[in-house]
């Protein structure tokens, strides 16, 4: 493939929208589809062609990127919706959604049967990473297919080939286990400092540079302190991923007690109606549990 490619992007949500813009600005010919057309409309001003249907978005594409919300949605659009069947033999499907590893392996097998290459290439970094082109992309599939996809991945962030089909999703699950636990732990630490009478913002500043420093402490702690929960990574997607990880643990005979506790905490947050808030709003769930003021 040439360095400039014809790309079909499916779903222009929180991360898909800036990804489509970055790909177009990098010189690729991007056609994008979104279930709600209004969300994608502004992309036309960035050189993205808007497609009325998923099939129209992928008809001439050399690479199709799926940023769909879950495994069942991927199945509905890619399989039941006919996207995979409409892709040209020799084209490449990159599913960048977070889905179960077994679903990624199934997609790979079905794609191969149609002469379509595939990668499961979920990304971490949220809206900010998608906007700034600093996503961490974990790709599973054949090395040759990963090499073909690099011109597409480069405008989006840093891509790493981690193994065969399904390995990208396993890497993303590991990432989400770390992220979910870190967000919950940072929230608990800030609440402890706050209730003990310290300035949570200054405590956060003091911890930077020590062993507690992390992206979560640098970025999400500021959200927690400022009560800024506009979603970059909605909590409902966090609990989807921790639930997927627990399902895999059951299949592997693993008991990960911290993951179980964190999953329950996020599940309670979603059950209390906060699923569309950023996952850093888990501190609100902790306030709720401790009968503390939410404002």
Confidence of residue 1 (pLDDT cuts 50, 70, 90): very low
User: What is the mean predicted confidence (pLDDT) over 206-221?
Assistant: 96
What pLDDT is stored for residue 38 in this prediction?
Answer: 82
Query: Pick from 87, 105, 8: which is nearest to 50 by CA?
Result: 8
* Residues in CB range of 262: below 8 A, 6 or more apart: 180, 181, 184, 242
Q: How far apart are CA 152 and CA 137, in angstroms?
A: 11
- Asked whether the beta carbons of 115 and 89 are under 8 A apart, the reply is yes
Helices (H), the chain: 16-25, 37-40, 54-58, 71-74, 83-86, 101-113, 126-132, 143-153, 167-196, 200-207, 215, 221-226, 235-252, 257-269, 282-289
Whether pLDDT at 55 is above 80: yes
In the chain, list all ranges with CATH 3.40.50.720.
6-164
Q: pLDDT tens digits for 57-97?
A: 999 999 999 999 889 999 999 999 999 999 999 999 999 99
Average pLDDT rounded to a whole number, residues 12-25 = 96
Q: What pLDDT was estimated at residue 295?
A: 67
Fold of 6-164: Rossmann fold (3.40.50)
Question: Options 3.30.365.10, 1.10.1040.10, 3.30.70.3000, 3.20.20.70; which CATH number does 170-289 get?
Answer: 1.10.1040.10
Query: Roughly how many angstroms between the first and final C-alpha of the chain, as a whole number?
Result: 53
Catalytic status, residue 240 = no
Nearest to 163 by CA among 137, 139, 135: 139
Residue 281 predicted with pLDDT over 90: yes
Provide the mean pLDDT of the chain: 95
Which is catalytic among the residues 28, 105, 148, 172? 172
Q: Give start-end residues of each CATH 1.10.1040.10 domain in the chain.
A: 170-289
CB 146 within 8 A of CB 137: no
Read off the DSSP letter of residue 52: S
pLDDT at 37: 83
pLDDT band at 180 (very low <50, low <70, confident <90, very high): very high
pTM of the full structure: 0.89
Q: Which of 23, 13, 248 is nearest to 157 (CA)?
A: 23
pLDDT tens-digit readout, 96-142 = 999 999 999 999 999 999 999 999 999 999 899 999 999 999 999 99
Query: Locate tokens 């991945």: which residue?
Result: 153
């Amino acid at each position: 493939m040439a360095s400039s490619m014809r790309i079909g992007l499916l779903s222009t949500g929180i991360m898909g929208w800036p990804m489509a813009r970055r790909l177009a600005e990098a010189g690729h010919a991007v056609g994008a589809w979104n279930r709600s057309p209004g969300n994608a409309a502004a992309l036309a001003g960035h050189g993205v062609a808007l497609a009325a249907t998923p099939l129209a978005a992928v008809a001439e594409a050399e690479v199709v990127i799926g940023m769909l919300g879950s495994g069942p949605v991927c199945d509905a659009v890619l399989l039941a919706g006919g996207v995979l069947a409409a892709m040209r033999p020799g084209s490449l499907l990159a599913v960048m959604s977070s889905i179960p590893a077994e679903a990624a392996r199934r997609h790979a097998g079905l794609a191969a049967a149609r002469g379509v290459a595939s990668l499961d290439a979920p990304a971490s970094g949220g809206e900010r990473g998608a906007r700034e082109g600093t996503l961490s992309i974990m790709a599973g599939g054949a090395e040759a297919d990963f090499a073909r996809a690099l011109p597409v991945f480069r405008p989006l962030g840093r891509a790493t080939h981690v193994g065969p089909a399904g390995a990208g999703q396993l890497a993303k699950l590991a990432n989400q286990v770390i992220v979910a636990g870190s967000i919950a732990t940072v929230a608990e630490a800030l609440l402890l400092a706050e209730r003990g009478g310290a300035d949570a913002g200054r405590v956060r500043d003091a911890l930077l540079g020590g062993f507690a420093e992390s992206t979560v402490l640098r970025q999400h702690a500021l959200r927690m302190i400022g009560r800024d929960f506009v979603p970059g990574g909605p909590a409902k997607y966090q609990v989807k991923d921790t639930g997927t990880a627990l399902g895999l643990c059951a299949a592997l005979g693993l008991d990960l007690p911290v993951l179980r506790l964190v999953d329950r905490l996020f599940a309670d947050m979603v059950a209390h109606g906060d699923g569309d808030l950023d996952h850093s709003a888990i501190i609100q769930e902790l306030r709720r549990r401790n009968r503390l003021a939410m404002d």
